Structure 1
Amino acid sequence: MTASDSASGALHLSVVVPVKNEAGNIAPLVAEIERACAGLAFEAVYVDDGSTDATPAALEAARDGRPWLRVLRHGASAGQSAAVRSGVLAARGGVVATLDGDGQNDPAFIPALLAALEEGGPAVGLAQGQRRGRKDGRFKMMQSRIANGVRGRILKDSTRDTGCGLKVFRRDVYLRLPYFDALHRFMPALIAREGFGVVHRDVIDRPRLTGASNYGLFDRLWVGLLDLAGVWWLIRRKRATPRVAEIGAPVGEASPVPVTAKDQDVGC
């Protein structure tokens, strides 16, 4: 992002990266984001989720000469979903890309996901990456297959891999979603609940660059099942969003009440 882009308000894309104790992965991943997003009006928002290693120093060093790189810090670890939400709330772009901070998600796929979102038009709210060639251990992959299989059968979200951190979505659509821990794992179903479409693109998984995982996969099975039950309840309780017009509003004045893509599609 150039200085003129920032000053003119041309910023379009915010790349949000949650990190916790990822000191060794900061510099190489920041460099990859810089290469992948070259030519785009973008910013990167790193959210340090209460790291206790050298992550803060690595982020400070990475900021040198990169005005497009912003850093937020949680005073204490609040979890991956909270870190993503902090980044989205601070984002200046109308479109947000997320990826994990361990290097397993390749930023090179961000432009393709962004193109898929924009090709779908306003009716599409999320472009979801789906990993190929998983590099996790057998136990973690088995957990993932079970979790994705159960979730898919219950929520029918047509998504093979919701755990992939590579996602590109419209910021205003994300902010309509109910917030809870593990929200990022249920985004396809919840965005569809709001009346927006979801598109999918395959991405290549990589081994983490350094270190060990700091965020578990559904962490504990019973927590994942409780989240799943809660999302299922939210979907079941969703009612059509009415299109509202103010009586006596001045001719040509935009309605202050937003309508969803679903409302627009069916002409409610």
Structure 2
Amino acid sequence: MDVQQALATIGEPTRFRILSLLAAGPRTVGEVAAAIGALQPQTTKHLQLLETVGVVSIERLGRRRLARVDRNALRELADWLGGLATATSHDDALQQYAAAVRSAGAAADIVLERTLTAPPDAVWRAWTDAREAARWWAPRHFEVVCCAVSPQPGAPVELVLREADGAEYASAGTVRSAEPGRRIVFDLSPVDANGRAYFEVVVDAALEPSGGGTALRAHITAEGADADTAPMLAGLEPGWSQQLDRLEEVLG
């Protein structure tokens, strides 16, 4: 079945009425014409179009022509529409983001935890080696254009992300402190074209051995946002959550 053609055919008002009528049970062409208040030749053309796209069958019974809906074809259409209605993880993320924007204030305090299968040294490299960080340091649908990070207090931290439409978003800061293999704290605030921070964001990533893997706790705080920057602030939690999901995938 050509789903698009079927939907376009059904969508015409008269044919929509005919299909709704036949859904209650088979009828002769004459009965359909009488029910919709149309001439029989016009009704026949509508029925033939519905038959062409596969949602109606017309059978000859002697001199009579009996029209009925094809239930299997309608189920096929229903399955296709049902597939569109099935929620995805992207829908969930967007709903969470929209809810966060509506409730955003001037500050945020976020704690995200993951238990990773990789050992602490591998997780530490993923956080402190710019080439490794660039592999996961972006939410879904973004690519990393520029990434700089180093486990040295005072070292610059930079991140530029690009969306599919070409829009770029920059963040910058410095490393506040680092305990090799255990903890790194740094600023990473969204900045404008002149490098001025919209509001302050601090990321505190702590690692602990856990079995053969690593327990990761990321504490992200932000303050100084206003009404104009509320969408950025609201995006922190879903964005970092997606990034940590990518980190798990990268470390495998």
TM-score (norm 2): 0.23
Structure with the bigger percentage of strand: 2
TM-score (norm 1): 0.22
Instruction: Identify which of structures 1 and 2 has the higher relative contact order when contacts are C-alpha pairs closer than 8 Å and 6+ apart.
Output: 1
